[in-house]
Chains A and B, each alone.
Chain A
């Protein structure tokens, strides 16, 4: 080959390499960074429930960790909230360099089944603060196969938000049961004033609200470990109580909620409440901050979620947390980081700042949680026989497919294209089949 050909070959190769390097994920960099410096390790960490404030808080905490542990650096990845879990799943599937990740209760099973995340038992056995976790937090941690796959960083539990001024004006008490809630909601509904009793959720994952109602109607007969089934093995959708619950649910939508709430998601239902169009809202504690900002002090308050005719109220307490990848090359350091973030002091600080329920027992004594808007959460956790924590059957193969059609089914039902009987029959058949196939 002549000189010119050699030059051209060299140029082509350079270009091709540059192209490939430029387009590949930056996964290669931490490795080189990790090997540089005396026993320096760079951990890669990814969070799921991202927001600018939360990311800033986390970075602050990571800086503290780095100061305490010279030689360990942490690179935080914060994908946009919408699609963060998909991004994390893709990173795991591609075995991208990653050591610590935020696991959600709904993907924990999937991650553990596919061998993406590490069993933390060897670490928690030696960890003195493990017993500091509240019962609910421990249940979330060991949700999959009774094995700790992650350490929760905050709990998402729902309470009732209500407009104290409207309630006072109408001379009514805060509802304690679903029946009382409907009565109050109807009384406060006045479409002419653009006022409605209840911030209904018919849009994305609205099925969860239908489930809460059905659980409250079926009471303690519901199997808490797999709450789409009764303790006797039937599906929850086969009971007369569920039929009653769904009829109630439709009444709540038709008689006390805005018509377009059939497609309301999180944003709309919260906006409906804080902007003064709805009187009641059932939501997680992270709404408190937004409500504080937008609503006048004294016009709203929080209360425990209503109970059903059975005398109890169930819900799935959400608890995301920190887990470790099974293929991490720096497991000891990764655990150090998880341990640091889960120390009672750090984790209470994190929960306070992110407006979630803390995972450690000591927080119940904290003034911040004992009074004000957070008080109902403590009140509820002190009555564990009345306010029950249950689990969804996310460990079933058909969970995903059910979830993708559940909202649509409920919307069809609310819009009278489907009867309550048809809806429940469809779900009953689906879950009966799922259960049979699983055995």
Chain B
């Protein structure tokens, strides 16, 4: 195709009603038609709900009275932001993302390093490690909820049998323990993803780099810092960014394990939002929480991309 030729041209024609008319070239039409399914799909399933959510966050949209929906300005945001729950939900969201991420990364990295070398049964071993990632978050929450149960839970049973504790710990009845419990469950779930991504990156490092490093006298530790880490850094940075977004938006485990209990001490933004919909039946306030999540993630992403120079492959 002639690249100089404009795809869309607009020409003024003399039309009796004095209207302007558009004329789109053949190629333009063809390209537009090719794009149409994708545009339709994305608009209907991504942008429509998004825009709708933003609109609802400015309305008194409650299930109690759907016949009387009006715009109420920033009321929903004021209610959410001034609620006494808000500081705790924000703090919890931070702990939830931070600790989940750090330990998922750490364990994921360790597993990836272990699985890098070939050994007998590596395929099966890999499958076992990646298995949690294929499970539903809700199901994982239900499983861990029973594991952490003080009466019948396997965790207390093991701790009692090994003599580490004398009386069962009521993990889900105490705010701090409950938060730790949901984070542990989330770490277990997310390790697999980091392991998959980092392993893929590790396997792409050319063997020659290590040979060259060894010839230059680099030891194992130096090889790790000077070759391995810089090589996989772009993958790590993108994975971390993705995971921060996903973890903050991931209510499944908490919803199934504690649903914010005890006394709201395990609510994060995402579960708080669900709570507002299911129990509060207030779609307006829930949407306001949703918009706040989007804003936080946008700010974080801008900051992260600038600070780490992700687009340049993380070359600090």
From B7-15, B64-72, B106-114, B218-226, give the one contacting chain A: B64-72
A12 engages B34 (CB within 8 Å)? yes
With A12-B36, A191-B167 known to touch, is A114 a contact of B152 (CB < 8 Å)? no
B65 & A113 in contact (Cβ 8 Å cutoff): yes
Name the interface size band of chain A.
35 or more
Complex contacts, A409 vs chain B, CB 8 Å: 263
If A12-B34, A259-B150 touch, whether A400 touches B63 (CB-CB below 8 Å) is: yes
- Docked Cα-Cα span, A76 to B85, in Å, equals 41
Q: Among the interface residues A9, A20, A89, A259, which one has the most CB atoms of the partner chain B within 10 A?
A: A259
Of B126-134, B194-202, B276-284, the one with at least 4 CB within 8 A of chain A: B276-284
A415 within 8 A of B: yes
| Chain A nearest CB, measured from B133 CB (Å) | 23
* B63/A412 in contact, CB under 8 A: no
Chain B neighbourhood of A310, CB < 8 A: none
Judged by a CB distance under 8 angstroms, whether B5 is at the interface is no
A240 contacts the other chain (CB 8 A): no
A275 and B261 alpha carbons, distance in the complex (Å): 23
B264 adjacent to chain A (CB < 8 Å)? yes
The answer to whether B275 touches A113 (Cβ under 8 A) is no
Nearest neighbor of A411 in chain B, beta-carbon distance: B263
Q: Assess the B279–A114 pair: CB atoms within 8 A.
A: no
Verify if B262 is at the interface (C-beta below 8 Å from A). yes
Binary contact track B279-296/A, C-beta < 8 Å → 1, others 0: 111100000000000000
Contact in complex: B263, A408 (CB < 8 Å): yes
The answer to the question of A32 belonging to the interface, with a C-beta cut-off of 8 Å to chain B, is no
Q: Which residues in A have their C-beta under 8 angstroms from that of B262?
A: 202, 262-263, 411, 415
Residues of B within 8 Å of A16, CB to CB, are 36-37, 40
Partner-binding segment picked from B93-101, B169-177, B209-217, B242-250 = B169-177
Q: Do A263 and B261 form a contact, CB below 8 Å, given A400-B63, A403-B279, A403-B280?
A: yes
Specify which of B259, B276, B281 is in contact with A203 (CB 8 Å cutoff).
Answer: B259
- Say yes or no: A400 contacts B282, CB within 8 Å: yes
Nearest B residue (CB) for A4: B30
Q: A260-B149, A260-B171, A404-B280 are in contact. Are A204 and B65 (CB under 8 A)?
A: no
Say whether B29 faces chain A, with CB atoms less than 8 Å apart. Answer: yes
The answer to whether A110 touches B63, judged by C-beta atoms less than 8 angstroms apart, is yes
18 pairs, A vs B, C-beta closer than 8 Å: A5-B26, A20-B40, A83-B278, A89-B63, A110-B281, A113-B65, A114-B65, A114-B67, A194-B168, A203-B259, A204-B259, A260-B170, A275-B152, A400-B62, A401-B282, A403-B279, A408-B260, A411-B262
Contacting pair A8 B30 (CB below 8 A): yes
What residues on B are CB-neighbors of A5 within 8 Å? 26, 29-30
- Chain A residue with the shortest CB-CB distance to B259: A204
Contact partners of B64 in chain A: CB under 8 A: 110, 113, 397, 399-400
Chain A residues near B36: list those with CB within 8 A. 12, 16
Known interface pairs A19-B40, A203-B259, A203-B261; 4 further A-B residue pairs with C-beta atoms within 8 A, sorted by A's residue number = A12-B33, A114-B63, A263-B173, A404-B278
Q: How far is the CB of A277 from chain B (nearest CB, A)?
A: 5
A408 touches B264 (CB 8 A): yes
Cα–Cα, bound, A399→B45 (Å): 32
Q: CB of B59 within 8 A of chain A?
A: no
Asked if B186 is at the interface of the complex by the 8 Å CB criterion, the answer is no
Assess whether B152 is in contact with A400, with CB atoms less than 8 Å apart: no
CA distance A255 to B44 in the complex (A): 56
A260 and B63 contact, CB distance less than 8 A: no
Among A306-322, those with CB < 8 Å from B are: none
**Bound CA–CA A272/B151 (angstroms):** 8
Question: Which residues does chain A contribute within 8 Å of B168, judged by CB atoms?
Answer: 194
Chain A 120-151 interface mask (CB, 8 Å, partner B; 1/0) = 00000000000000000000000000000000
A258 at the A/B interface (Cβ < 8 Å)? yes
Does A115 belong to the interface (CB within 8 Å)? yes
Q: Assess the B173–A262 pair: CB atoms within 8 A.
A: yes
**Chain A residues within 8 Å of B264, by CB:** 408, 411-412
CA distance A261 to B263 in the complex (A): 13
Residues of chain A with a CB closer than 8 A to B260's CB: 408
Q: How far is the CA of A9 from the CA of B29 in the complex (A)?
A: 9
User: CA A260 – CA B167 in complex, angstroms?
Assistant: 13
CA distance A83 to B65 in the complex (A): 20
A280–chain B nearest beta-carbon distance, Å = 15
Q: Which residue of B lies closest to A261 (CB)?
A: B173
Answer whether residue A271 sits at the interface, using C-beta atoms and an 8 A cutoff. yes
B178 at the binding interface (Cβ < 8 Å): yes
Q: Check if A417 sits within 8 Å of B149, measured CB to CB.
A: no
B41 within 8 A of A: yes
CA distance A81 to B3 in the complex (A): 58
A406-B30 Cα distance, complex, nearest whole Å:
58
- Chain A contacts for B178, CB-based, 8 A: 263
